Each structure stands twice: as structure tokens, then as C-alpha cells.
């Protein structure tokens, strides 16, 4: 059964007359009257308010990029429109029009909606739960969001699908060889193979082989940033540390901007299941944890610009009278009184000559449902002996024919938690190779990976293995190229923090995996993200 069948009352609750009266004082304007069938908000509309129905009704529909429309629900008195995008003023994924009897409704723009969910605990809980569940429902169902057209295993399509999935944005993938409508669109637009994949945005705009940033702008994921605005805190990185900073800083009244080049959650967001995070005895996926933190940050008013890459940090003058500046891809800049570096780490790549040729074409650095679907029923290999590798093995093994687990060390015990080791030992289709490394890859970019060669480090004996999917979990290097020359880094490139969590550059802080000496755990990153806010307050209080 779908989510709308099992949790309809929570997805589309009806506020009592008393609750409606309480909500009125948070409205962004007087009630408005719409004639029958009149549009109230549309797909792709930014800053679309949430409408609380006072009389009549509102018909909510979903629409995909090809213009195909289907009904979601007809809401009546005491019900409200919107989903989680409305908290942050992002582009609406659904559309609404007045019902057959017309509609009288109260508007709640993003700022007043946030005031409602914070100012009334009772109503806020109802509204937040509904907005989150509605987004989940849109993801589960077809007929909303963007459409990706191309070969399902094409590297750029996998990249785009992964970005949208990690950011919780609904989308469909259509293969032009199997879908007539997709094939007709390609023919009508005269699109060449090297221009695929196409992204058809909900407003009908068609992008040819877009970058993540281009896709984010078209879909309304990325807000329009004011270069003259000076934030209290700019956070670079939307992993656990960055999101924790955003939640705590925004909840304490600071203006916060979070930037990330890819998606919410960082490396933790790609984890299929985190089982040792406090408070989740049955575990939680990294994406679910990140999604909850993302919603919290929006609830308290933090702005999140994702996907948008930070190219360079420009330090302020010596007397600290000027704001710090971040240079973004495309040449735009943002200003902030303080900066938190929470950019985490970049996936480490083994020294294999043609490795880059197969990235996205058989080689992955995370194991999401997208990758699991691509390699279902096949033989795969995974390199790595840490907890992330163990979680990936436990997630992938039940879905594949055989999994070759390759580690350079003598045993898993030196680097992996015991509960994961026991789980892996119970999997009948996992073969462990110790003291082993991959030395060669075969295949080509067009058709993808076709095989790999394992070599025992002690004996030198090599073993070729046919496979189309290789997962690399061999650690990570700090993502600090964009701050080199601005502050002190340790010999490995991690950011030094000689003053608590403050770097050698005043008003610039570091939290999470990117910080030298940090504990590489989700809980530790969240703790540092929370703790840094106290030091930010002290820094701001000390400004001239």
C-alpha cells in the first residue's frame, strides 16, 4: 500500500476550528477568495504560500515535465496545501486550483509559515509532519518532479539521478529505447546522443546534459542569493556537521546560509544504514537522517543553496571590519560575518591508471538504491574495510549474485565494528580477500567496466574477475583545496583549529571530518556542529 493509503490522516490533516483560529494570527495576509477552477499556485512557482482553506475547497494536482497531470487530493475546510519546499520558498512541486464551489483561504508565505510551526507547538507538529510526508509521497509516486531521459546506466544520468535522490527530489527515468514519448521528444528536439541525458523540468524547460548546478537552478532547488546581504554564518558543507550548525545557529536567531556542491548529508548521506547513532536502535539511513536535519534547518529559517560549489574563501582584512567572502561557481559571491568549514572529505581514489574512465560507468564511491538496482543479480566487488564499507556490503549482498570484498589488511577486525563483521560472515555470497588490492581495470567508457584484476600483496598472484560494478570505500582526503593559503592546515590537508573550533583565521571555524584531530563519526560531527555555534556567538559579540 502507498503512503497516502496508510497515513492519509497525517498527510492531509484537518485542523479543528480552534486550531484554525490560532493559526489566523500567523497568516501573511487577509483571506483571499478564488472562483471555481481559478489557479491558487502552480508547479515551479517560487515563494508559493501555503493556503489554509476556510470555505469551499482546493484541488491539488501533480504534474511532470511532459505536462502529464494527475490528482492528488481535494482539500476542504481546515486543510492546508504545500509540502516541505514551502518552508524555504523553493519551487512548488504541485499545483492547486479552487474547487467546484470556489475557495476562501488564508495565505502563509515561507516566513509566516515558519513562524506558525515555531510559534504553535501543537499546530507546528501537525504541519511539519504533513509537509514531510507529502514530499515522501511525491517521491514514491510517479507523475511529479523532473524527468530524466537517457540510458539508465549512462554516467551523467546516474550522476543526476543520484543528486536528485540524495536531495529528496522526485523524478522519473525514461529510456528512449523503451518509452515512445521519450523517443518522440528526442526526435522532435533533434537531440544528439552526446547531448543526453535530457532533464525535463516540471515547468517544461528542457536541459541537455546539465550540470548539477544547472539542474538545481531549473528545478528551484537553489535559491537566488543576494550578493549584498551579509549573513551571520555561512556554512560550507551540508553533511552532519554543517546541518547541525545550521539547525542550532538558526534556532538561536542567527541568519544562516548553507552551501554544498552536491547534496545534503555528505558522505553519511550515502550510507544505507547507520546503526550506532544514538537514539536510533533499529538504525536509520544516512539519507533519512540528512532529510530530517534539512527539514529542521528550514523550519528555523536557514537558507540552503544546494547544489552550489564554493570555489574560494576570501579572508577579511586584518582589523575584522569587513565581512568574509565566499566565491561561488559562476563568479557569484556571498558575504558573511563568520564562516564554518564543514566541507568534509573527498573520496580517496586508488592508483589505477584508467580509474577515471570508469567513474560513473561501473565504479561508485557509495552504495545507494540507484547503484543497487543497476547491479541487481550481478557479480560485484567492493574495496574497503571500514564501517562504511561494512554497511555497503550488508546492503548490497542480498541484491547481487556474488560480492568480492577486498581489503589490504590482514583482517576486518582492525578497522570494522564487530556487529558488521558478524553480519558479513553470515552472508553466503560474500567472499573476503585479505592482503589484496585491485591493480587493473578493463572495459571502455562507452560500454562501461567489464572486469578487474586482483593481486595478492604477499605472493604477487593475480586473479582476473569479470564484473560490471566496483565499489570503492577506501577512506577519504580532506576537502580543503578551496581554503589553501587562507589558514593553517596539517600535513595531510586537514584544517587546524588552535582555538577550540576556530581556525588560525579569525571568525573562520571548522567542524566535522575536515577538522584536524576530529573523530570520524556522525555523532561527533553533529556535536561539533552544535558546539561551534557557542564560539560563533562569542566571536560576533566581540566585533567592533
| pLDDT digit string, tens, across residues 486-499 | 999 999 999 999 99
The CA-atom distances, in angstroms, between 293 and each of 132, 244, 246, 290, 413 are 12, 7, 9, 5, 32
Asked if omega into 197 is within 30° of 0 (cis), the reply is yes
The band of 368, judged by pLDDT with boundaries at 50, 70 and 90, is confident
Indicate the pLDDT class of residue 542, thresholds 50, 70 and 90.
Answer: confident
Q: Total structural domains in the chain?
A: 4
pLDDT average, residue stretch 240-248: 98
H/E segment holding residue 495 = none
Cα 346 from Cα 358, distance rounded (Å): 17
CA proximity to 263, closest of 201, 326, 207, 213: 213
Phi (first) and psi of residue 507, to 5 degrees: 70, 10
Q: Are 12 and 131 members of one domain?
A: yes
What number is the average pLDDT over the span 261-267? 92
Q: How many CA atoms lie within 13 A of 66 on its CB side?
A: 20
Quick one: 400 and 462 in the same domain?
Answer: yes
Domain-embedded: residue 169 = yes
Spatial distance between the Cα atoms of 412 and 433, rounded to a whole number of angstroms:
10
41 and 121, same structural domain?
yes
Q: Are strands 345-347 and 333-341 parallel, antiparallel or unpaired?
A: unpaired
| Residue 127 pLDDT greater than 80, yes or no | yes
Q: Where are the alpha helices (DSSP H) in 97-252?
A: 110-119, 121-140, 155-166, 180-189, 212-219, 240-251
Does 402 fall in a domain?
A: yes
| 416 within a domain of the structure (yes/no) | yes
Domain-embedded: residue 218:
no
Q: Using 50, 70 and 90 to split pLDDT, how confident is the model at 444? A: confident
Predicted local distance difference test score (pLDDT) of residue 318: 53
Asked if residues 505 and 337 have their Cβ atoms less than 8 Å apart, the reply is no
Q: What are phi and psi of 51, to 5 degrees?
A: -110, 125
Residue where one domain finishes, among candidates 418, 450, 474:
474
CATH number of the domain to which 64 belongs: 2.60.120.10
Q: Examine residue 324 and state whether it is found in any structural domain, yes or no.
A: yes
In the three-class reduction of DSSP (H, G, I as helix; E, B as strand; rest coil), residue 218 is classed as helix
In a domain, 96, yes or no: yes
Is the same domain home to 399 and 443?
yes
Check residue 101 and give its pLDDT.
Answer: 96
Per residue in 227-239, pLDDT tens? 999 999 999 999 9
Mean per-residue pLDDT, 180-200: 93
Task: Encode pLDDT of 74-115 as tens digits.
Answer: 999 999 999 999 999 999 999 999 999 999 999 999 999 999
* Residue 493 near residue 344, CB atoms below 8 Å: no
Q: Are strands 230-236 and 333-341 parallel, antiparallel or unpaired?
A: parallel
Looking at the domain assignment, is residue 217 inside a domain? Answer: no
The CA distance from 138 to 142, in Å, is 7
Mean pLDDT of the chain: 93
Q: Is residue 225 part of a domain?
A: no
Task: Return phi, psi of residue 291, to 5°.
Answer: -60, -40
In angstroms, rounded to a whole number, what is the distance separating the alpha carbons of residues 137 and 3? 6
Give the pLDDT of residue 214: 95
* CATH number, domain containing residue 289: 3.50.50.60
pLDDT of amino acid 153: 86
The per-residue pLDDT for 446 is 78
pLDDT, tens digit (0-9, with 9 covering 90-100), for 500-535: 999 999 999 999 999 999 998 899 999 999 999 999
Mean pLDDT of the 459-486 span: 93
Residues 485 and 442 placed together within one structural domain of the fold: no
pLDDT value of position 544: 40
Q: Of the residues 474, 496, 521, which one is the last residue of a structural domain?
A: 474
Selection from 279, 326, 229, 181 nearest residue 526 by Cα: 279
Per-residue pLDDT reduced to its tens digit, 164-187: 999 999 999 999 999 998 999 999
Query: Is 304 in the same domain as 329?
Result: yes
Give yes or no: residues 79 and 129 share one domain: yes
Q: For residue 205, what is the domain's CATH number? A: 3.40.30.10
21 three-class SS: helix
Same domain assignment for residues 25 and 133: yes
Task: Verify that 170 and 131 share a domain, yes or no.
Answer: no
Tell me what pLDDT residue 543 has: 66
194 and 298 assigned to the same domain: no
Domain of 10 in residue numbering reads as 3-140
Domain boundary among 120, 140, 160: 140
Check whether residue 369 and residue 270 sit in a common domain. no
The pTM (predicted TM-score) of the whole model is: 0.91
Joined grid coordinates for residue 425: 560472515
pLDDT at 223 over 80: yes
Confidence of residue 452 (pLDDT cuts 50, 70, 90): very high
Question: pLDDT for 46-85, tens place per residue?
Answer: 999 999 999 999 999 998 888 888 999 999 999 999 999 9
β-strands 50-63, 94-108 pairing: antiparallel
506, burial (CB in 10 Å: exposed 0-12, middle 13-18, buried 19+): middle
Within 8 A by CB and 6+ apart from 218, the residues are 199, 201, 203, 205, 207, 210
pLDDT at 377 over 60: yes
What would the grid cell of residue 87 be? Answer: 518552508
In this structure, the answer to whether residues 320 and 371 fall within a common structural domain is no
Amino acid at each position: 500500500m502507498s503512503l497516502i493509503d496508510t497515513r492519509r490522516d497525517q498527510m492531509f490533516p484537518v485542523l479543528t476550528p480552534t486550531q484554525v483560529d490560532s493559526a489566523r494570527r500567523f497568516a501573511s495576509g487577509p483571506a483571499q477568495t478564488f472562483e471555481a477552477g481559478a489557479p491558487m499556485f502552480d508547479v515551479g512557482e517560487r515563494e508559493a504560500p501555503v493556503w489554509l482553506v476556510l470555505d469551499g475547497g482546493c484541488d491539488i494536482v501533480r504534474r511532470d515535465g511532459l505536462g502529464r497531470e494527475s490528482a492528488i487530493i481535494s482539500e476542504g475546510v481546515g486543510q492546508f496545501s504545500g509540502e516541505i519546499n514551502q518552508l524555504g520558498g523553493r519551487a512548488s512541486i504541485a499545483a492547486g486550483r479552487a474547487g467546484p464551489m470556489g475557495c476562501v483561504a488564508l495565505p502563509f508565505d515561507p516566513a509566516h509559515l515558519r513562524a506558525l510551526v515555531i510559534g504553535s507547538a501543537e499546530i507546528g507538529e501537525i504541519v511539519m509532519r504533513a509537509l514531510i510526508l507529502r514530499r515522501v509521497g511525491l517521491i514514491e509516486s510517479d507523475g511529479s518532479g523532473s524527468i530524466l531521459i537517457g540510458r539508465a546506466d549512462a554516467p551523467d544520468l546516474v550522476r543526476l539521478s543520484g543528486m536528485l535522490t540524495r536531495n529528496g527530489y522526485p523524478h522519473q527515468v525514461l529510456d528512449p529505447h523503451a518509452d515512445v514519448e521519450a523517443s518522440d521528444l528526442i526526435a522532435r528536439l533533434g537531440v544528439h546522443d552526446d547531448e543526453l541525458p535530457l532533464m525535463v523540468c516540471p515547468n517544461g524547460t528542457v536541459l541537455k546534459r546539465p550540470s548539477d548546478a544547472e539542474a538545481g537552478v531549473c528545478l528551484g532547488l537553489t535559491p537566488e542569493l543576494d550578493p549584498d546581504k551579509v549573513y551571520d554564518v555561512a556554512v560550507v558543507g551540508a553533511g552532519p556537521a554543517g546541518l547541525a550548525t545550521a539547525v542550532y545557529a538558526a534556532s538561536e536567531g542567527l541568519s544562516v546560509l548553507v552551501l554544498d556542491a552536491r547534496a545534503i548529508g555528505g558522505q553519511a548521506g550515502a550510507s544505507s544504514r547507520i546503526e550506532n547513532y544514538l537514539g536510533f536502535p533499529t538504525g536509520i539511513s544516512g539519507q533519512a537522517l540528512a532529510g530530517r536535519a534539512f527539514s529542521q534547518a528550514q523550519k528555523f529559517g536557514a537558507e540552503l543553496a544546494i547544489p552550489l560549489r564554493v570555489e574560494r574563501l576570501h579572508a577579511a582584512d586584518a582589523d575584522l571590519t569587513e565581512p568574509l567572502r565566499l566565491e561561488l561557481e559562476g563568479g557569484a559571491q556571498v558575504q558573511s560575518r563568520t564562516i564554518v568549514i564543514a566541507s568534509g572529505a573527498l573520496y580517496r581514489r586508488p592508483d589505477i591508471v584508467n580509474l577515471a574512465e570508469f567513474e560513473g560507468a561501473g565504479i561508485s564511491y557509495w552504495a545507494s538504491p540507484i547503484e543497487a538496482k543497476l547491479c541487481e543479480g550481478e557479480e560485484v566487488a567492493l574495496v574497503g574495510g571500514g564501517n562504511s564499507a561494512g554497511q555497503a556490503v550488508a546492503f548490497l549482498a542480498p541484491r547481487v549474485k556474488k560480492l568480492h570484498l577486498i581489503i589490504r589488511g590482514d583482517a576486518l577486525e582492525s578497522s570494522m565494528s564487530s556487529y558488521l563483521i558478524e553480519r558479513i560472515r553470515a552472508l553466503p555470497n560474500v567472499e573476503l580477500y585479505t592482503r589484496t588490492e585491485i591493480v587493473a581495470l578493463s572495459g571502455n567508457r562507452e560500454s562501461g567496466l567489464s572486469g578487474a584484476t586482483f593481486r595478492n600483496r604477499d605472493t604477487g598472484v593475480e586473479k582476473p574477475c569479470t564484473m560490471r560494478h566496483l565499489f570503492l570505500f577506501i577512506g577519504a582526503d580532506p576537502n580543503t583545496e578551496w581554503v589553501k593559503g587562507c589558514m593553517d592546515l596539517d600535513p595531510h590537508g586537514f584544517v587546524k583549529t588552535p582555538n577550540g573550533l576556530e581556525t588560525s583565521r579569525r571568525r573562520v571555524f571548522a567542524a566535522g571530518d575536515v577538522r584536524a584531530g576530529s573523530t570520524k563519526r556522525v555523532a561527533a560531527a553533529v556535536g561539533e556542529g552544535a558546539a561551534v555555534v557557542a564560539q560563533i556567538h562569542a566571536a560576533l559579540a566581540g566585533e567592533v
